[in-house]
Amino acid sequence: MMDIARSIYRFLWGHSTFLALYRYDRVQQGAGYIDPVIQCYDGRDPMPDLVTKVLIKQSGNLSYRLLRRRTRQYGGFLLVLIQADVLIAYGWIQSWQPFKREYKWLGREWVCLGPYWTSPDYRGRGLYGRLLQHSIAECFARGWFKAYIWANINNTPSIRGIEKAEFVPVGSYKVSRYLSKLICSVHRIN
């Protein structure tokens, strides 16, 4: 119940996040590579029950439904890594459209990579890097050469994985949103 109240408060009144922002560099990173083990679902594809259950458990029903709606409405993709009927990692490629009000200061016509998740039992095995390389390849195949990815500045493992995949740092930012995201302010912190 507290989570719902906190979510409503944050949505209506406001909150701030601290982000480390990176961008895809076609010259430096190349075209990525397609990992044959990673499955890709778009908004029209039905997802296996295993995937749906884990996504809801990890992000909550509301976040799951929001991400699914974005994939259907704006053409995003879900990348999934399943091993022995266990969902061990996933990542999203999302259209820029849902973020344009909030992140218009970054530019136009970009693709957002993320969020990504790896099961705690499988962390430290390079799965995040595989998903990132596959994400780059999926974007490259579709002619999307402008992509951003960000992580909370305190999420050291994600930042390490992003940097290992050679995304180019843009900077660290405090992004504050107020009144249902009608008002957004951005301050560079480095």
pLDDT per residue over 25-81, tens digit each?
Answer: 888 888 999 999 999 888 777 778 888 888 888 778 887 887 778 778 777 888 999
Average pLDDT over residues 106-127: 87
pLDDT (0 to 100) of residue 19? 87
Residue 7 lies in a domain: no
Residue 134 lies in a domain: yes
- Per the structure, the complete domain to which residue 174 belongs is given by 14-188
Query: Looking at the 3D structure of the chain, how many domains does it have?
Result: 1
Cα 169 from Cα 16, distance rounded (Å): 20
Nearest to 77 by CA among 67, 87, 86: 67
Residue 90 lies in a domain: yes
The model's pTM is 0.81
CATH code, 42: 3.40.630.30
